[in-house]
Structure 1
């Protein structure tokens, strides 16, 4: 039964799992008692991971329009807080990419001050997964400064280099995007 319940991030997959013992409205799972089973849920079309919900938009737009689309959905462009989150995201992005230029906007920019990379919540970048030679402040046809970050790397070489998939580019360049918001708690008992 425990393989369906992730205690680390408190996500819940007991919706379809039958539990054989129910005593006085308490659930027993190999020594754990849950008086009220609380689960993290995401809306349809969103994917739950690590306490957050992710929406992978496959329509392409500028970074600003992508961010607006995320905020319209009650979220923001993704902020990548850990290696574990990067592993999850690059795995999903690879599945959705058609070619190596088919990348996804994330919520990182240096548009306020060149070289000072900030997430949408104003926090500074403290862990990065830049591709080799990135950031390089170059964009196609040098149409604008490369102030926004997209992620994606179709080829898989193996090792830690696979996670280095961030590229700076012009914020006006149409890309797909990843929205992120906190998963909502709901009771299933």
Structure 2
């Protein structure tokens, strides 16, 4: 004979609901509350990032724009001024200094070529002082105290004369690159050179 199984739900009176176990405060997990930031902080961070990017672009792309004073011509990192009046060599040197420059110091064939082409377009004069002179015959020195590098010298044929009467150097306004001549330190035009301003 088969037996039947009966299930019943039994409820007890006076039974307390499931006991709630209190966990001591030091055992509770710290709840994560997001930090509240001031509303302007994201804008400040964005601005700083933009400024850093601009600074990097300037550094990586190199220098900014170079410019020269009005009436001066720029070549590479320098500005050049061709005078429209004549002075002696010492006065020419002083005049350039008063303009925050110096008589031109020619360091390369590219610079010499630039000046030769610029002089060709000038209708002012034929001879312009450069910053080369000698205290003793044949000992040529630039105004910045560097000695003449003979590999970067552009003397005309049969020049310099190397005589006591000709201790200053002029550049001739002729269309050939070898156009330097030692000359008397009398009245000539002048070429001043200054560093270009970077903005």
TM-score (norm 1): 0.69
2:137 is equivalent to residue 107 of structure 1: no
| TM-align CA RMSD | 2.3
User: Match of 2:65, SS?
Assistant: strand
Q: Which structure 1 segments of 5+ residues have no match?
A: 1-23, 28-32, 139-143, 157-161
Give the drift of 1:34: 4.6
**Maintained 8 Å contact 2:104/2:131:** yes
Change (3 A) 1:70 1:129: same
Q: 1:125 aligns with which of 131, 148, 153?
A: 148
Q: 1:164 aligns with which of 153, 178, 182?
A: 178
Per the alignment, residue 149 of structure 1 pairs with 169
**Maintained 8 Å contact 1:78/1:178:** yes
Q: Which structure 2 segments of 5+ residues have no match?
A: 1-49
User: Match of 1:66, SS?
Assistant: helix
TM-score (norm 2): 0.66
Structure number with larger C-alpha Rg: 2
Higher helix proportion (structure 1 or 2):
2
Give the drift of 1:164: 0.4
What CA distance in whole angstroms lies between the structure 1 residues aligned with 2:72 and 2:120? 17
Per the alignment, residue 90 of structure 1 pairs with 116
Moved over 6 A (4+): none
2:150 is equivalent to residue 137 of structure 1: no
Per the alignment, residue 141 of structure 1 pairs with none
Query: What are the Cα deviations for residues 122-152 of structure 1, in whole angstroms up to 9, with x where unaligned?
Result: 10110200000000136xxxxx710000001
2:189 is equivalent to residue 176 of structure 1: yes
Give the drift of 1:68: 0.9
- How many aligned positions are there? 144
Higher strand proportion (structure 1 or 2):
1
